[in-house]
Amino acid sequence: MPVFYENDPSLQSYWRSIVLYGKNVASYKFALAKSLIDLKGQPNDLIKLEDLAAPFSKHLCEHLKHNDKQATSSSSSFLNTCRKFNSNEASMDELIQTTKRLGFNNVIDAFHIVNGGEIPKRFFIDERRENDGIRITENFFELNELQESENLPREVEARWRLVETAWDLNIPTNLIKVKYDNEREIFYTDKSNRRIDVTPSKDALNGYQKGKCFFCFDYISVLSNSPNLGHVDHFFPHTLKDKPFDGYVDGVWNLVLACRSCNNGANGKFAKLPTDNLLARLYKRNEFFCSSHHPLNETVRNQIGVSPNDRLSKLKHYSKQALEILTHTWEPQEIRGEEVF
Ligand SMILES: [Zn+2]
């Protein structure tokens, strides 16, 4: 199983490993990640639990409104207080006090644990005993100075939506399917024949390719008003849809984010087949999905195979087939960003 930050020990890679790869039993990690981002402008590096409790419980209350399943266990006094707050049966003060007492019990300890081990960089230090709070580290301040930190809140939100949807579906994980709406660029799923919009596909895809154009590594943004806005691109071109091609073209496994130049610039990809070099990158990116637990893991496994070997031979088969149809291969002429895969 590839480690996301293995060849790229950058702060944003460590942060993304927490958000995208933790095996969650509750959504508290996402709420804490969002709260830290909310509080990033604070002059103090010590955040008292009392101050953390406000944004933390606010995010959970908001999510509970559209998805009641926020943990795998069936009962939680903390979540019950959040529910009561939503239905005006608990006051703000009650909510803050309960959050302070119960909300952080596991999440502060677990935040930096990914796949059973602690990551080498910490974004805060636990000072609950000494100072009744957590102390933000230099790593977190540095992370937020990077241009791509503008994308992080939406990546957390996208991951949160995917995870809670998977819990809510209440079906065997091997049946979970994230589908893609090409027109609206949104991930959705079906529950009892009802369509549920999960999250904008850009927000969900961006983190798994480390915030860079999949093809040329140029910086991309998921904010719609940004000049660097990324585009959802079909690695195996969309045109293969009505050709004798075995791959499910609209599958998550085939979707990447590309910069404008690679997507539709003068020397852009269009209906050409990315080279073997880029195919190897797609394989690696898909292995990141498969390490991310439900529901992207199950979706990719359903679409292109349950083992890494299955997935590799599937991609090779598709590539051979696509070349016969498309004839031309493509790779961007210049690599603009630093290589990240
Ligand atoms: Zn590009």
How far is ligand 1, taken at its centre, from the CA of residue 245, in Å?
26
According to the model, what pLDDT value does residue 7 have? 78
How far is ligand 1, taken at its centre, from the CA of residue 9, in Å?
22
263 and 161 together in one domain: yes
Residue 151: DSSP 8-state: G
pTM for this entry = 0.95
Residue 283: band (very low, low, confident or very high) from pLDDT cuts 50, 70, 90 = very high
How far is ligand 1, taken at its centre, from the CA of residue 221, in Å?
12
Distance between CA atoms of residues 37 and 34, nearest Å: 5
Residue 1: band (very low, low, confident or very high) from pLDDT cuts 50, 70, 90 = low
164 and 115 together in one domain: no
Residue 340 has pLDDT above 70, yes or no: yes
Query: Distances from the Cα of 137 to the Cαs of 38, 41, 42, in angstroms?
Result: 15, 13, 13
Q: What is the total count of domains within the chain?
A: 2
Mean pLDDT of 286-298: 91
Residue 214 has pLDDT above 90, yes or no: yes
Domain range holding 129?
11-145
Which tens digits make up the pLDDT trace of 297-313?
999 999 999 999 999 99
235 and 113 together in one domain: no
How far is ligand 1, taken at its centre, from the CA of residue 181, in Å?
23
Distance between CA atoms of residues 36 and 236, nearest Å: 38
Distance between CA atoms of residues 172 and 187, nearest Å: 19
Q: Is residue 59 part of a domain?
A: yes
Which tens digits make up the pLDDT trace of 17-71?
999 997 788 999 999 999 999 999 888 899 999 999 999 999 999 999 999 999 9
According to the model, what pLDDT value does residue 3 have? 79
How far is ligand 1, taken at its centre, from the CA of residue 298, in Å?
28
Distance between CA atoms of residues 162 and 253, nearest Å: 16
How far is ligand 1, taken at its centre, from the CA of residue 294, in Å?
29
How far is ligand 1, taken at its centre, from the CA of residue 193, in Å?
38
Residue 11 has pLDDT above 80, yes or no: yes
304 and 164 together in one domain: yes
DSSP string, 125-145: EEEHHHHSEEEE-HHHHHHHH
> φ and ψ at 217, to 5 degrees?
70, 15
Which tens digits make up the pLDDT trace of 235-279?
999 999 999 999 999 999 999 999 999 999 999 999 999 999 999
How far is ligand 1, taken at its centre, from the CA of residue 230, in Å?
9
How far is ligand 1, taken at its centre, from the CA of residue 235, in Å?
12
How far is ligand 1, taken at its centre, from the CA of residue 341, in Å?
14
Mean pLDDT of the chain: 93
Nearest to 211 by CA among 194, 230, 226, 225: 230
Distance between CA atoms of residues 86 and 92, nearest Å: 10
How far is ligand 1, taken at its centre, from the CA of residue 261, in Å?
6
Site of tokens 């010590």? 46
91 and 178 together in one domain: no
136 and 159 together in one domain: no
Q: Is residue 232 part of a domain?
A: yes
Residue 191 has pLDDT above 70, yes or no: yes
269 and 160 together in one domain: yes
According to the model, what pLDDT value does residue 188 have? 95
How far is ligand 1, taken at its centre, from the CA of residue 13, in Å?
20
According to the model, what pLDDT value does residue 208 have? 95
